[in-house]
Amino acid sequence: MNVLVIGGGGREHAVCHTLKKSKKTDKLCCIPGNAGIAKIAATKQLSVFDFDGIYEYVKEQNIDLVFVTPDDPLAKGMVDYFTERGIKAFGPTASAARLESSKAFAKRFMNKYGIPTAQSIIFSSPDEIRDYVETAKFPLVLKADGLALGKGVLICETKDDALRGIDELMVSKAFGDAGNTVLVEEFLRGREVTVMAFCDGEHIKLMPSSQDHKRAFDGDKGLNTGGMGAFAPSPYFTTDLEAEFLEKIALPTVRGLKSEGIVYKGVIYFGLMITADGLKVIEYNSRLGDPETEAVLPLLETDFVDIIEACLDGRLDKLDIKWRDKTGFCVVVASGGYPEHVVKGYEISIGDLEGVTLFHAGTAVKDGKLVTSGGRVFELTGVADDIESARKLVYGQIDKIKFKDCRYRSDIGRV
């Protein structure tokens, strides 16, 4: 089977790496890919929004399956587009991807099907929301409805913070139309864990749980980033919690989607908070998470293409998906100023890495040399018996990666 992966970050490198191992993959292609992906797949520089251009490439390369990884092309209907043209595409349709692309849709959905989540009120007028915050309890959380590059969520400690946030999201429209509707949400306290799952429209199969570290610096200091590292499974996601998750969250989500007439085929990402009051959903994503995927996929034993086909054919229940009983661990190697002031184009040198896998995120080849081309440059990944040995393994190798101002958190997995 000829497979095309859409996207070009560390997550897509992990997806390509896993697809490459499948007995069923003949040709592997990726748009746009990066310098690491280019070593294992044919890459092509096209925008992920150029559906017609990608379709031309699909025909040219005899692609049988398109794996759509990032949120934006999913929300814009890339899976619908290819399916309509008779090409198999893995991922939810635009309608199904609303679980992520509209936080108001997701909240109404959870409330309708009794899925535990933070209480919230949905506003579409700045005046009404300002009136509301006059008497609200703090801290509270403001959330832009639409996709906002992970920056549309503001935790507000005071009324002034909230008023400024409302201006940013709804008046000066920092995230465009994503802020036309804004949710005001109860602030949840607890520990965050992620569970990603495969879904075939009827059945759901969980991947190992995971945790990521979003802040830029050690000790959870600094700005929020796309993620500085991750590990799987999470020691906090116990078998009791897993049972609670299946009964109260995962299965009702699948049943709810079906009742709404939505056939969800792809990955559902559940962002969860373990609160004193039980597990609650913080958000859904309609695809694999980054960098959680880089920690989770190295644990997969079953052929990845078999799983994708079972999802597309609606027979996930018949497939026994096997995971290694180990810990997957990944640390992001970032550009110096990430996430604020990223300088790109620095030359990279990589020593002899032993016992680890290097996923490229923001890399390119310029004049025959490997250079940085993004904020997150690499994810160095290792698999070991437990978190401590995985930490030792990865941190023991990481300084072999060198470029100007390169930086990483040294406390990934210390939780």
Ligand X SMILES: Nc1ncnc2c1ncn2[C@@H]1O[C@H](COP(=O)(O)OP(=O)(O)O)[C@@H](O)[C@H]1O
Residues at the interface with ligand X (CB under 6 A): 118, 141, 150, 152-153, 185-188, 192, 271, 282-283
CB under 5 to 8 A by kind: which of Mg ion, ligand X, none does 185 bind?
A: ligand X
At closest approach, how far in Å is the CB of 52 from ligand X?
29
Token pair in block for residue 80: 């619908």
Beta bridge partners of 31: 6
Nearer to ligand X, 189 or 366 (CB): 189
Nearer to Mg ion, 287 or 391 (CB): 287
Site residues (vs Mg ion, CB under 5 A): 271
Nearer to ligand X, 118 or 305 (CB): 118
CB under 5 to 8 A by kind: which of ligand X, Mg ion, none does 141 bind?
A: ligand X
Nearer to ligand X, 118 or 308 (CB): 118
Provide the phi-psi class of 392: left if phi over 0, else alpha when psi is between -120 and 50, else beta: alpha
CB under 5 to 8 A by kind: which of Mg ion, ligand X, none does 187 bind?
A: ligand X
Nearer to ligand X, 35 or 274 (CB): 274
Strand order across the 88-90 sheet: 42-43, 27-32, 2-7, 65-68, 88-90
Task: Give alpha helix (H) positions in 61-184.
Answer: 71-75, 78-84, 98-101, 103-112, 126-134, 159-166
**Alpha carbon separation from 6 to 112, 293, 308, 407 (Å, rounded):** 33, 15, 15, 28
Nearer to ligand X, 185 or 379 (CB): 185
At closest approach, how far in Å is the CB of 43 from ligand X?
28
At closest approach, how far in Å is the CB of 289 from Mg ion?
8
**Alpha carbon separation from 246 to 282, 404, 412 (Å, rounded):** 16, 46, 28
Residues 6+ away with beta carbon under 8 Å from 161 = 154
CA-only gyration radius of the chain, Å: 21
At closest approach, how far in Å is the CB of 318 from Mg ion?
32
CB under 5 to 8 A by kind: which of ligand X, Mg ion, none does 118 bind?
A: ligand X
At closest approach, how far in Å is the CB of 40 from ligand X?
29
**Alpha carbon separation from 189 to 259, 280, 285 (Å, rounded):** 31, 10, 21
Nearer to ligand X, 75 or 153 (CB): 153
**Alpha carbon separation from 247 to 182, 242, 251, 253, 255 (Å, rounded):** 29, 9, 6, 10, 11
Token pair in block for residue 138: 């703090």
At closest approach, how far in Å is the CB of 400 from ligand X?
31
At closest approach, how far in Å is the CB of 188 from ligand X?
4
Nearer to ligand X, 161 or 192 (CB): 192
At closest approach, how far in Å is the CB of 173 from ligand X?
17
At closest approach, how far in Å is the CB of 254 from ligand X?
21
Nearer to ligand X, 35 or 188 (CB): 188
Nearer to Mg ion, 273 or 394 (CB): 273
At closest approach, how far in Å is the CB of 95 from Mg ion?
21
Do the strands 88-90 and 65-68 form a parallel or antiparallel pair, or are they unpaired? parallel
The span from the CA of 412 to the CA of 228, in Å, is 8
**Alpha carbon separation from 50 to 54, 107, 121, 177, 364 (Å, rounded):** 6, 31, 36, 21, 21
**Is residue 76 within 8 Å of residue 239, measured between CB atoms?**
no
User: Residues 80, 84, 85, 91: is their CA dihedral positive or negative?
Assistant: positive
Token pair in block for residue 134: 């006059």
